Amino acid sequence: MSKIGFIGLGIMGKPMSLNLLKAGHSLVVYDINQAAVEEVKQAGAEVGSSPKDVASKAKIIITMLPNSPQVKAVVLGANGVMEGAEKGSLVVDMSSIAPLVSREVAEALAVKGIRMLDAPVSGGQPKAIDGTMSIMVGGAQADFDEMVPIFKVLGGSYVLTGGIGAGNVTKLANQIIVAVNIAAVSEALVMATKAGVDPELVYKAIRGGLAGSTVLDAKAPLMMDRKFNPGFRINLHIKDLANVLETSHGIGVPLPLTAGVMEILQALKVDGLGECDHGAIVKFYEKLAQIEVKRTEA
CA distance 245 to 264: 15
**Residue 6 near residue 13 (C-beta atoms within 8 A):** yes
Q: How many CB atoms lie within 10 A of CB 156?
A: 14
Q: Are strands 133-138 and 121-122 parallel, antiparallel or unpaired?
A: antiparallel
H-only helix segments in the chain: 13-22, 34-42, 51-56, 68-76, 81-84, 99-111, 124-130, 141-154, 166-194, 199-206, 214-225, 234-251, 256-270, 281-289
CA distance 233 to 41: 26
Q: Is 175 exposed, middle or buried (0-12, 13-18, 19+ CB in 10 A)?
A: buried
Element (H, E) at 291: none
171 is catalytic: yes
Q: Which of 147, 280, 140, 148 is nearest to 219 (CA)?
A: 280
CB contact set of 35 (below 8 Å; sequence gap of 6+):
none
Catalytic residue among 127, 171, 219, 283: 171
Catalytic positions are 171
